[in-house]
Structure 1
């Protein structure tokens, strides 16, 4: 929702992905790590007789969300619980299109997953890897770490936190990994900026969507809720001041879709 509503790029990311997919509607498609289905629903709405889609995710809760979000499918659609590291249930070259959108910040062995994606992609098909740069959204991370110090988090805890997008394969090194598994790798950048003219949507993006840049998840039960309340207030104060000064608060993003054959 945030990316669709507050993007500066006039083209939605899903349109960028769909253009790279080049669907006729008769393909066999694997959506690897389908998440809540916000990309999947646009893909399956373009399928027709002769096509089929398999949506896979490791989390049952995400599959349930995807089932609720994907309400129109003209061709067979199957939801499968499974891991990207193990696609052994599928034959070599089984899919004409394989999508892996924003899953690699969770992947511990990118070579294993890329190898599996390449294996199940047909010789005449293509795999799409959508990925974000490690240094994407610097404005949010800079504000986050400055505010953590003010909120009173211990320095050693702050030092352990990720300073950008996590994962062994990010936009900065994706091509060197992908070329080991595909004969052709084409990068199609999708630069964007999220512009917020009121603080509420950014704070939801930061606190709920990104769980305070991962700090909430890493903290576990080690810190009281009150320290996150102070962090929230510190960040919100700066965002409000920026909006008051220039009319908006911006977060710049660096994403690319890699078309692999």
Structure 2
């Protein structure tokens, strides 16, 4: 009986140690994610929609018919550390694989999520180094048919969903975008490929870069700028002030 009791004690100690070890792992992961959120944050600062008139039927154009051609998203990436920021996105490689002139891949994707819709916004890399001059960077993403995939289109079906026949459906598009969740998903292999290029490896410790998915904060109150003509001065902001006051 004494041996059985000793075995039970040993087993209990092993189980407790495993639980404690597992708890430390969970706490480490949570701490790492929390630290990453404190290092880098992203805000969706501006959304602009470019509309154009379109021919909805053989009968001709009905006054007020519009179709969104381009939706632009301005993201501001904030660096909350005293380290240099390395951040970029290049989904251009995904949508135009034949135009590839990048050595690093897609780097990271800005995803727009709403229900069953998950759309990778079009982005193009403007730089991919350690930014020591500024505490933030501006990244533009877009939805536009020109940059769509030919074999499996993503943007055109989405834009065609908002055909405005005889009336402006800006409210419906606004509500959809307002309900969207935006996240940034870094591709670690692409970031590592860039880090490996530094001859002085000690510099890596002086660089912060995204290592986990980052949830993007939308501007509050959320609004969109709708451009409806050839001139940049032909636009309106939705929702108008009267609706904002009612909300």
Give the TM-score range, shorter chain. under 0.3
Q: TM-score of the superposition, structure 2-length normalised?
A: 0.24
The structure with the greater share of residues assigned to strand is: 2
Q: Which structure would you say has the larger Rg? A: 2
The structure with the greater share of residues assigned to helix is: 1
